[in-house]
């Protein structure tokens, strides 16, 4: 038992020792333990929340949702601006960009943008909590939980080891998509009278699928060309995006094409 525990401690130490020293002091970055605890707490909430709400009335969160969603629009716009401007000022390549581990102002600015992107994924776990409190259990699908729960680990690894480089491309595209997505949710939260203006939900799902295809092309290109960016990370991102393309394609089919056939 002691030997197994020593092995766990040794593995943990390797995780923390081999990271980017610039980002180690930042909130939730140094060790994977806090993120792992958040992940476990999230799964507990997903399992226990609907059971606790079963015999309760839905909570009216209209005001909270309006503030939350438009705040997320603002945060996404800020991150998009930082990724775009910093990559442009740094002459980043959109095909292959190694990580700049220096402490130059632009390198640190990009690292901070990556940290905000990681932290935004933790904030976005609130989406699930709001569904639970509003008793929208049909929204808590495998896709929803899988995507939210795994992104915090993916971007913990990003900020811990690869805070910059071509990781910026994912942040740039995803924050653009989230500006539109949270705008949709914010408008929907204003009330039923907004529904006639929200006919474009199907196109939002299409946009999400397009972003994952862009990530597949981007990482796939770097896997088969010479690029000073870890192939292990490119391989992981490629495989992860394949799962998201499959899951979002199924969601699109079930939500739009299947219903259209039934009609």
Residue 198 lies in a domain: yes
The yes-or-no verdict on residue 172 having pLDDT over 60 is yes
Per-residue CA distances from 214 to 146, 173, 241 (Å): 20, 9, 10
The segment with the largest mean pLDDT, out of 37-41, 163-167, 188-192, is 37-41
pLDDT surpassing 60 at residue 167? yes
186 lies in some domain:
yes
What is the pLDDT averaged over residues 83-107?
96
* Residue 14 within a domain: no
Structural domain including 190 reads 60-262
> Which of the following is catalytic: 12, 81, 147, 193?
147
Instruction: Check whether 96 has a pLDDT greater than 60.
Output: yes
Q: Is residue 206 over pLDDT 80?
A: yes
Question: pTM score, two decimals?
Answer: 0.94
Neighbouring CB atoms inside 10 A of 225's CB total: 9
Is residue 244 exposed (0-12), middle (13-18) or buried (19+ Cβ within 10 Å)? buried
Q: How confident is the model at residue 263 (pLDDT cuts 50, 70, 90)?
A: low
Query: Which of 1-15, 30-44, 178-192 shows the lowest per-residue confidence on average (mean pLDDT)?
Result: 1-15
* Neighbouring residues of 21: CB distance < 8 A, sequence distance ≥ 6: none
Asked if 106 contacts 86 with a C-beta cutoff of 8 angstroms, the reply is yes
What integer pLDDT is reported at residue 257 of this predicted model? 80
Q: In this model, does residue 5 exceed pLDDT 90? A: no
Instruction: Give yes or no: 147 in active site.
Output: yes
What pLDDT score was predicted for residue 14? 85
Torsion of CA 164, 166, 171, 172, to 10 degrees: 110
* Confidence at residue 259, expressed as pLDDT on a 0 to 100 scale: 63
The DSSP code sequence of 21-70 is TTTTTSTTTS-SHHHHHHHHHHHHHHHHHHHHHTTSPPP--HHHHHHHHH
Quote the CA–CA distance of 36 and 171 in Å, as a whole number. 22
What's the mean pLDDT when you consider all of the chain?
Answer: 94
Q: What is the structure's pLDDT at 215?
A: 96
Q: How many domains does the chain have?
A: 1
pLDDT of residue 9: 81
Residue 242, CA distances (Å) to 52, 109, 166, 213 in order: 35, 30, 19, 9
């Amino acid at each position: 038992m002691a030997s197994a525990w020593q092995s766990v401690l040794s593995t943990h130490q390797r995780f923390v020792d081999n990271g980017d020293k610039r980002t180690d002091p930042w909130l939730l970055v140094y060790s994977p333990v806090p993120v792992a605890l958040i992940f476990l707490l999230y799964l507990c909430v997903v399992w226990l929340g609907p059971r606790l709400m079963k015999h309760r009335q839905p909570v009216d969160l209209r005001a909270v949702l309006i503030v939350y969603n438009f705040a997320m629009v603002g945060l996404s716009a800020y991150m998009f601006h930082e990724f775009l401007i910093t990559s442009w000022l740094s002459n980043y390549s959109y095909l292959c960009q190694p990580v700049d581990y220096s402490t130059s102002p632009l390198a640190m600015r990009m690292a901070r943008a990556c940290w905000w992107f990681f932290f935004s994924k933790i904030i976005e776990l609130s989406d699930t909590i709001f569904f639970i409190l509003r008793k929208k259990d049909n929204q808590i699908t495998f896709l929803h939980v899988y995507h939210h729960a795994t992104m915090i680990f993916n971007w913990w690894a990003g900020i811990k080891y690869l805070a910059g480089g071509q990781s910026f491309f994912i942040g740039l595209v995803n924050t653009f998509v989230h500006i539109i997505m949270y705008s949709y949710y914010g408008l929907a939260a204003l009330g039923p009278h907004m529904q006639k203006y929200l006919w474009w939900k199907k196109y939002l799902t299409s946009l999400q699928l397009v972003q994952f295809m862009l990530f597949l092309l981007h990482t796939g290109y770097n896997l088969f060309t010479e690029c000073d960016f870890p192939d292990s990370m490119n391989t992981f991102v490629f495989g992860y995006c394949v799962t998201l393309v499959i899951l979002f394609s199924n969601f699109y089919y079930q939500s739009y094409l299947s219903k259209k056939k039934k009609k």
